[in-house]
Structure 1
Amino acid sequence: MSSEVSETEKIELSLFLEAIYRKYHYDFRNYSPASLKRRLAQAKDHFGCESYSQLQHLALHDSTMVSQLLPFLTVQVSDMFRDPEYFRAIREKVVPHLRTYPSLKVWVAGCSAGEELHSLAILFREEGLESRTIFYATDINTEALKKAESGVYDLNRIALFTENHRKSGGKSSLSEYYTTGYGRAKFDQSLRERTVFSDHSLVSDAVFAETHLISCRNVLIYFNRELQNRVVGLFHESLVRRGFLGLGSKESLRFSSLADRFSEFDLSERIYQKEGEGV
């Protein structure tokens, strides 16, 4: 009986994802099934549904549902300077290379609510690179992009942000970059003046700029191998020769079909460098 339930659930999940794609053009069909099941279990509870079929019915017949479903289908968990050693490696090892360019473009792919964008903007300001850098902050979730553009976070998160910033080699006090009020911290608008915010899907959209650094952390782990290869190919196409790609601590290019197109610049922090032409 349990195997029958499991098979039925697989069919329902497949039909649900196909329905979301055909109706709203959001493609989650190649996301990791295990990850989707965990997140959609929360969605079913939230909307009072017992099955993916019931959730599908709601989604197809209520156009407002898709914006409510996206936070469950996409990953929205991050912190400023999350994994501080990663940002220290960017600061101490990658920045010296970036200094050699007269102008820079940095892509924060899957930027969620903007914590990583603000982290990099602060780091680049502290390293004197902000004025020559354009940042691209993209996400599939337009509501998350609005949060990123606002630069507002709950005040109870600031202590962790501050400690992470210190551990990352921060050259100033994080408090210099925000003001507080009503239980919130609002980061300076100046940190976002050189940022282009855009709705962009790693699953279906094309490259839009030539970039020197791409930071896409804790996103690939939610994709299956085929989609991971597609996205890594997208990043390879976007990066300049010898450009840098930063991934999450549990992610790797080692099993990618495109692994030989990158060198392991700092493997412990999952920072890779695009190989030169002809290599």
Structure 2
Amino acid sequence: MMNGPLNINEHVEHEKKQIDLILETVHQLSGFDFNNYNRNHIKRRLHLRMSQEGSSDLTSLLNEINCNPQLLDKILNDFSIQVTTMFRDPLFFLKFRRNVIPLLKNFPEIYVWHAGCSTGEEAYSLAILLKEEGLLERARIYATDISEEAINKARIGKFPLHRMNNYRKNYYAAGGELEFSEYYNADDTYAYFDPSITNSIYFHQHNLVVDGSINEFHIILCRNVCIYFNADLQNHVHQLLHASLHNEGFLCLGDQESLISLDSKKYFQEFDAKCKIYKKNDYFRSGS
């Protein structure tokens, strides 16, 4: 006797179990654990991949993952956050230039970590800003991402030429005053950023979920990354970022996120609420 179609509750529970199995398989095959990522994000990415691969359902996709390493690589890239642009959210970079840069000038060396840098556009943006403010020579920018493919692209410093017009608009809105094309050379297809910019950034693969701190930083950018994590993982990452900051350091989040939990709020104080710039609150040293 054939079973009838699943009702809505049964379908939801069945889909949840299939997603659990996929995440377990991805973890076993790759070592990357996405169990604490936002489930709606994971679900959307899996359904998009299912459509692109022509899979009839999640079970078929799971079977294909087990025997197709190329599909596994695609899914790892699907789960990582690849949304970025140069001078994304120009108001943030403008306020950073006006309000944070003057404080950075007091430091003989400046260490910056851009966590979740994707293909590097914002890391290059920050390098340009620091160069214009006379700080790049004393700065070291570390840019990291979970995706090895994204890091390899970022390291090259090559971007499609057709994007430059939009990047130029963002640059001027962010307070840039020079001719943006001075920072890159171009052929018919790509723009190649000048070595004075590319050589100032050190790109590395790093997983915020399981990897520890890599230094003590004056600036950490982790913009619109934690929105893809559940609350527990957000707290874990915020604690990691707090531990990675210099006592007078700044944490810069994205316009779509905030320090939502009481645990995270005790680690930082607001510096610019609108632009999501926070200053380290040395909670543990103060004994508060």
Q: Which 10-residue stretch deviates more, 164-173 or 47-56?
A: 47-56
Give, in angstroms, the shift of residue 51 of structure 1.
Answer: 2.3
RMSD (Å), alpha carbons? 1.2
Tell me the residue number matched to 1:229.
235
Whole-Å separation in 2 of the counterparts to 1:137 and 1:83: 18
Give, in angstroms, the shift of residue 186 of structure 1.
Answer: 1.3
Which amino acid in 2 is paired with 1:139?
Answer: D
Give, in angstroms, the shift of residue 182 of structure 1.
Answer: 2.5
Give, in angstroms, the shift of residue 244 of structure 1.
Answer: 0.3
- Secondary structure at 1:170's aligned position in 2? coil
Tell me the residue number matched to 1:17.
23
Q: Which structure has the greater CA radius of gyration?
A: 2
Whole-Å separation in 2 of the counterparts to 1:141 and 1:87: 25
Whole-Å separation in 2 of the counterparts to 1:252 and 1:159: 30
Give, in angstroms, the shift of residue 196 of structure 1.
Answer: 1.6
Give, in angstroms, the shift of residue 172 of structure 1.
Answer: 1.4
Question: Residues 104 and 212 of structure 1 are in contact (CA less than 8 Å); yes or no, is this contact kept in structure 2?
Answer: yes
Give, in angstroms, the shift of residue 48 of structure 1.
Answer: 1.6
- Secondary structure at 1:113's aligned position in 2? coil
Give, in angstroms, the shift of residue 212 of structure 1.
Answer: 0.6
1:271 to 267, 274, 277: 277
- Which aligned pairs between 1:74-223 and structure 2 lie closer than 5 A? 74-223=80-229
1:50 to 50, 56, 60: 56
Whole-Å separation in 2 of the counterparts to 1:76 and 1:183: 21
Residue segments in structure 1 that go unaligned for 5+ positions in a row:
none
Tell me the residue number matched to 2:264.
258
Whole-Å separation in 2 of the counterparts to 1:193 and 1:64: 32
Question: Residues 153 and 185 of structure 1 are in contact (CA less than 8 Å); yes or no, is this contact kept in structure 2?
Answer: yes
Whole-Å separation in 2 of the counterparts to 1:14 and 1:111: 27
Residue deviations 1:206-265, cap 9 Å, x none? 111111100011111110000000000100000010200000101101425121121100
Q: How many residues get paired?
A: 279
Question: Residues 116 and 146 of structure 2 are in contact (CA less than 8 Å); yes or no, is this contact kept in structure 1?
Answer: yes
Question: Residues 144 and 204 of structure 2 are in contact (CA less than 8 Å); yes or no, is this contact kept in structure 1?
Answer: yes
Question: Residues 126 and 171 of structure 1 are in contact (CA less than 8 Å); yes or no, is this contact kept in structure 2?
Answer: no
Whole-Å separation in 1 of the counterparts to 2:268 and 2:18: 39
- Secondary structure at 1:213's aligned position in 2? strand
Whole-Å separation in 1 of the counterparts to 2:140 and 2:123: 11
Question: Residues 261 and 275 of structure 1 are in contact (CA less than 8 Å); yes or no, is this contact kept in structure 2?
Answer: yes
Residue segments in structure 2 that go unaligned for 5+ positions in a row:
1-6
Q: Which 10-residue stretch deviates more, 38-47 or 48-57?
A: 48-57
Give, in angstroms, the shift of residue 39 of structure 1.
Answer: 1.4
Instruction: Give percent identity, aligned residues only.
Output: 40
- Secondary structure at 1:244's aligned position in 2? strand
Whole-Å separation in 1 of the counterparts to 2:95 and 2:190: 30
Residue deviations 1:87-126, cap 9 Å, x none? 0111111111111111011001110011100000000000
Tell me the residue number matched to 2:3.
none
Whole-Å separation in 1 of the counterparts to 2:120 and 2:128: 12
1:245 to 251, 254, 258: 251
- Secondary structure at 1:28's aligned position in 2? coil
Which amino acid in 2 is paired with 1:9?
Answer: E
Question: Residues 206 and 234 of structure 1 are in contact (CA less than 8 Å); yes or no, is this contact kept in structure 2?
Answer: yes
